[in-house]
Amino acid sequence: DPKTDPVATTTGAGGETHQTAGGPSVLTTQQGVPVADDQNTLRAGPRGPALMEDFHFREKMFHFDHERIPERVVHARGFGVHGYFESNGALASVSRAAVFGKGEKTPVFVRFSTVAGNKGSADLPRDVRGFATKFYTKEGNWDLVGNNMPVFFIQDPIKFPDMVHAFKQEPDRGFPQAATAHDNAWDFLTLTPESMHMIMWVMSDRGIPRSLRFIEGFGVHTFRLVDAGGKSTFVKFHWKPKLGLQSVVWNEAVKINGADPDFHRRDLWDAIQAGERPEWELGVQLFDEAFAEKFDFDILDPTKLIPEEQLPVKVVGRMVLDRTVDNFFAETEQVAFCTQNVVPGIDFSDDPLLQGRNFSYLDTQLKRLGGPNFTHIPINAPKCPVINFQQDGHMAMRNPKGRVNYEPNTWGDQAGPRESPEKGFQTFPAALNGTKVRARPETFADHYSQARQFFISQTPVEQAHIADALIFELSKVQRVDIRVRMVSHLLNIDQALADKVAAGLRLAEMPKPMPAAKPTRQDLKPSP
Ligand code: HEM
């Protein structure tokens, strides 16, 4: 009764009530039993041993002992906020997805993150920033699990565990926790020439954003959109911040990390609490097979981007972030994004990295969130009807109703849900033809051209920051041969950059350029 009990309550899925706001009320156990004394354990005499009978103490301690869940294997440190996405209708003729209908407003939850650091690490390491968006659409949840850089380090998902091991703390010593600046990271990277383009982005000012409100987002992979008639169009997704891009310089990042390791999460929290409404435009690059064929690189290669000069980004809607979370653990920590979460009208390409990710996220979340029912947690639950015959498992909050939990069945009115070829998700029937093989196509072989394009697109000040970042990072690498190997890669990107880094590292002599691993598609073309 609100007149006698000032504590607001909400009703849970099972009809139970939960306390949601402060104010004096009676403390209870998890069983709802009022507690008389929460300060003293039950003992055999005031100086005597503890009694097993103290169910309140045992329950309280048992629950505390089990508070931790595994942190994410990557992107462990993050910050989530709520908002909405509003479509301007520009994609309605290209994708049948309801989320792209004209004027359609869809609730979203966004989690920004760093990648390498553990959950308690600082907000401003030099790192990629995760930018994951869950769209609670009328036709189910669509997750756009992106980063603030448009490309990635590797082309094949089989390398991901090694890459992450090399980035995170070294196994014998447990440090460094959240930095690329160490031998293992640079040993791996310099043995992985496909990472050179991404390295340029990470060493640029984008690796140390001033605020999460000033970062771009990218879906990275090529995806497909499918229209009502079944026609497919390739798409790259972009988030463009209304506030523009801003970064700090390394000197500032180091100070901020020391003075306030929560700088980015505090900024986002304070801004929204103060009434700011950070906003991004959702943009797309749309193209077809014929357009894709014109490039020297492969549009399935996640280490390449499609230059915006050649294919401008078209704005298809805007996202506004307007609400902080009520509970960090329940929402930010338990949210589960997955590249596999697509809706009718959005489909995958054969980008091998995307295909690998589609396996990895669900798999890790089974463990991280303790069983197969994490879609029952409110932050992960779709905001549209969910009706199927899946049942039971740990913490099941929704089971099939009534007698029927299988199909096909002949229970008439009580038969339960049925599949719908018209409304349902239809995989785009892409033609396939191939021999089983463990190999990468020649079209994935040019690792330097786009790294160079990115470097020369930067202003002189930005180029100087890249050189400084490389010198700083590599100066933390103890093995000189690893430093030398990186400079030999840089010689394939930009001579002046290589010279500057070699001088900054005081290399005894300039190495030879790294031999290009494989010929490019251009090289393979017959001469005219
Ligand atoms: C998180 C795997 C590449 C963006 C994660 C997680 C895993 C993972 C296991 C933890 C998920 C969880 O515990 O909920 C992989 C694999 C990759 C890959 C195997 C490549 C083979 C990428 C790429 C991007 C990306 C290319 C960006 C386009 C993210 C983001 C998160 C994440 C933003 C954090 C999601 C959140 O905020 O909860 N990844 N990842 N990952 N990944 Fe990836």
Helix (H, G, I), strand (E, B) or coil at 13: coil
In ligand 1, which atom is closest to the CA atom of 147? 27
Q: How far apart are CA 119 and CA 265, in angstroms?
A: 13
Helix (H, G, I), strand (E, B) or coil at 89: coil
> What does the block give as tokens for 150?
């448009």
* pLDDT at position 519: 47
Length of the chain as a residue count: 528
Backbone φ, ψ for residue 132 (5° rounding): -110, 130
pLDDT beneath 70, residues of the chain: 1-23, 517-528
CA 95 to chain centre: 23
* pLDDT at position 177: 80
> What does the block give as tokens for 502?
């070699």
Helix (H, G, I), strand (E, B) or coil at 79: strand
85 strand-pairing partners: 106, 319
In ligand 1, which atom is closest to the CA atom of 218? 28
Residue bearing tokens 């994935």:
444
Q: How far apart are CA 333 and CA 351, in angstroms?
A: 29
Annotated active-site residue in 75, 82, 264, 465: 75
Q: How far apart are CA 279 and CA 206, in angstroms?
A: 19
Helix (H, G, I), strand (E, B) or coil at 195: helix
| Candidate from 148, 237, 339, 360 with most ligand 1 atoms within 8 A of CB, to mutate | 360
- List Cβ neighbours of 272 (8 Å cut-off, separation of 6 or more): 81, 278, 321, 322, 323, 324
Say how many Å lie between the CA of residue 132 and the centre of ligand 1.
Answer: 9
| Candidate from 113, 158, 168, 361 with most ligand 1 atoms within 8 A of CB, to mutate | 361
Say how many Å lie between the CA of residue 152 and the centre of ligand 1.
Answer: 11
Q: Which residues line ligand 1 (CB under 6 A)?
A: 72-75, 78, 111, 113, 130, 132, 145-147, 152, 157, 160, 220, 302, 335-337, 353, 356-357, 360-361, 364-365, 368
Q: Nearest C-alpha to atom 25 of ligand 1 is from which residue?
A: 146
Q: Nearest C-alpha to atom 21 of ligand 1 is from which residue?
A: 157
CA 161 to chain centre: 16
pLDDT by residue (tens digit) across 497-527?
999 999 999 999 999 999 975 544 444 444 4
In ligand 1, which atom is closest to the CA atom of 78? 37
Q: What is the DSSP string of 147-166?
A: ESSSS-S-SSGGGHHHHHHH
86 strand-pairing partners: 105, 318
CA 516, 518, 521, 523 torsion-angle sign: positive
Burial 38-77 (b: 16+ CB within 10 A, else e): eeeeeeeeeeeeeeeeeebbeebeeeeeeeeeeebebbbb
In ligand 1, which atom is closest to the CA atom of 152? 26
Q: What is the DSSP string of 307-329?
A: -TTTS--EEEEEEEEEEE-S-TI
CA dihedral in degrees (38, 40, 44, 46; nearest 10)? -150
Say how many Å lie between the CA of residue 337 and the centre of ligand 1.
Answer: 8
In the annotated binding site for heme, the residues are 72, 111, 160, 357, 361, 368
Contact indicator for 332, 80 with CB cutoff of 8 Å: yes
| Complex ipTM more than 0.95, yes or no | yes
For the beta carbon of residue 498, count every other beta carbon within 10 angstroms. Answer: 23
Say how many Å lie between the CA of residue 143 and the centre of ligand 1.
Answer: 12
Annotated active-site residue in 56, 82, 141, 147: 147
Active site (annotated) includes residue 147: yes
* pLDDT at position 18: 57
Contact indicator for 130, 75 with CB cutoff of 8 Å: yes
Active site (annotated) includes residue 66: no
- List Cβ neighbours of 387 (8 Å cut-off, separation of 6 or more): 416, 417
